Amino acid sequence: MANRMIPIYIENKTVNDDVYLIQKICETSGSEVAKGDVVATFETSKSLVDVYAPESGFIYYNDITEGEEVGVGFLLAVISDARGIDRKWFDSYSSNKQVSIQKVDKATGSDTEVRISNAAKKLLLDHKLSIADFKGKKIIRTQDVIDHVNSNAANYTFNHSILSDSIDRIMIIGAGGHARMCLEILQQTSNYEVAGFVDSALQKGTQVHCLQVIGDENELEYLFKTGITHAVIGFSALHKPAIRQRLYDKLINIGISLPNIIHKTAVVEPSVIMGSGNQIMAGAIIGSDVVISDNCILNSGCIVSHDCILSDNVHVAPGAILAGDVVVGKNSLVGMGVTVYMKVRIGENCIIYNGKNVFESLLPGAVVKN
């Protein structure tokens, strides 16, 4: 049986910061820690923030040292219930990349090494700026660029909507029933401006759910460059999970962010840990210490009990119930009304058809049907 591992991500703690400085690594990799122990401290532009162990176990840090800067969402460490982990685990569970490093010409008199977030880098290009315009800064954040442009507004022509740090533009990929559900979740929050739908089966400009189709999947990179920096995968691909996984990987590689979207009626305990691109629909209940990786769908009315672990691209269909300490492998489908008993392990690429009771663990690729 695989070891249980809980990721520890660098969480967003301020509105304006895209990157943080690691001030202190409090333990050594492989050492045993207790739940609630401080395992690291990082610095924002306003304060120091302690990072706590979410569970007891053995801690293993990602490739990071004190004094380095990391982006929001960086996978700092994992807690394992046994000694020793495979390095590949970090690669598969890192939901965001570290901010990139750009070199600066010494002739400018600026620092020889500057870290800049992808969002800030895009703003530099949009407004024909360079790192040399930020002499003395070792970290350039989105807000730094916004402040620079606003302070020199007379010398620049710019689109004020691009410079807003309060609302991100987001697109929904797909335009069917599942996309409509995603749209209504997004409309419940003021965090995003929905730019429209991306659908290869519909003509650009078509009106769907009171919004326009703004392009197809071949135009994702172009749409990103226009300032649509976030996306939601608005289809389920029930029996073809690889389609969703390929699209998720493509979006991440472009630099597009996939937020977790959660319906206002869902119940998600504070101890739940999630990656990115997850969708939690109306009436879902997610219990204590659940770990959800990336790109999962927890559909309407499902129950995922305490200490469950869902790997990438898992779909828990409406009304399904997972008892405590269930593990579901990558790309698996738990159908409508399915009941999975406590401590069952479901392998990768499994399909459990509607209404089944699962008492025993399933090998990868298993199909349970009537």
Q: What is the pLDDT along the chain (370 residues), one digit of tens a residue?
A: 456 778 888 877 665 566 788 888 999 988 999 988 889 988 876 667 888 888 889 999 888 888 888 877 788 888 888 887 766 566 555 443 333 333 223 333 333 456 665 556 656 665 666 666 777 776 676 667 766 766 664 343 333 333 334 478 999 999 999 999 999 999 988 778 999 999 999 999 999 988 999 999 999 999 998 889 999 999 998 888 899 999 999 999 899 999 999 999 999 998 898 889 999 999 999 999 999 999 999 999 999 999 999 999 999 999 999 999 999 999 999 999 999 999 999 999 999 999 999 999 999 999 998 7
Angle between helices 118-126 and 142-151 (to 10 degrees): 30
Domain C-terminal end among 47, 68, 93: 93
Q: Are residues 366 and 287 in the same domain?
A: yes
Structure tokens at 327: 């593990």
Q: Are residues 265 and 219 in the same domain?
A: no
63, part of any domain: yes
Q: Are residues 291 and 249 in the same domain?
A: no
- Quote the pLDDT of residue 20: 80
274: β partners: 292
Residue 230 contacts residue 258 (beta carbons within 8 Å): yes
163, part of any domain: no
Q: Are residues 285 and 343 in the same domain?
A: yes
Provide the CATH number for the domain around residue 17: 2.40.50.100
Q: Are residues 143 and 199 in the same domain?
A: no
197, part of any domain: yes
Provide the CATH number for the domain around residue 271: 2.160.10.10
Domain C-terminal end among 232, 254, 276: 254
- Quote the pLDDT of residue 18: 67
Q: Are residues 307 and 230 in the same domain?
A: no
Q: Are residues 248 and 203 in the same domain?
A: yes
Domain C-terminal end among 93, 108, 133: 93
Which residues lie closer than 8 Å to 224 by C-beta, 6 or more apart? 254, 255, 256
Total residues found in the chain within this entry: 370
161, part of any domain: no
CB atoms near residue 283 (< 10 Å): 16
Structure tokens at 360: 């025993």
Provide the CATH number for the domain around residue 197: 3.40.50.20
- Quote the pLDDT of residue 363: 93
- Quote the pLDDT of residue 115: 63
Q: Are residues 218 and 317 in the same domain?
A: no
Q: Are residues 66 and 82 in the same domain?
A: yes
368, part of any domain: yes
- pTM to 2 decimals? 0.58
Q: Are residues 186 and 118 in the same domain?
A: no
- Quote the pLDDT of residue 107: 39
- Quote the pLDDT of residue 106: 34
Residue 316 contacts residue 299 (beta carbons within 8 Å): yes
- Quote the pLDDT of residue 297: 97
The identity of residue 364, as a single letter, is P
Q: Are residues 229 and 302 in the same domain?
A: no
162, part of any domain: no
186, part of any domain: yes
| Count of the separate structural domains present in the chain | 4
Q: Give residue 221's domain range.
A: 168-254
160, part of any domain: no
**Helix (H), strand (E), coil (C) string for the chain:** CCCCEEEEECCCCCCCCCEEEEEEECCCCCCEECCCCEEEEEECCCCEEEEECCCCEEEEECCCCCCCEEECCCEEEEEECCCCCCCHHHHHHCCCCCCEEEECCHHHCCCCEEEECHHHHHHHHHCCCCHHHHCCCCEECHHHHHHHHHHCHHHCCCCCCCCCCCCEEEEEECCCHHHHHHHHHHHCCCCEEEEEEECCCCCCCCEECCEEEEECHHHHHHHHHCCCCEEEECCCCCCCHHHHHHHHHHHHHHCCECCCEECCCCEECCCCEECCCCEECCCCEECCCCEECCCCEECCCCEECCCCEECCCCEECCCCEECCCCEECCCCEECCCCEECCCCEECCCCEECCCCEECCCECCCCEECC
Q: Are residues 148 and 230 in the same domain?
A: no
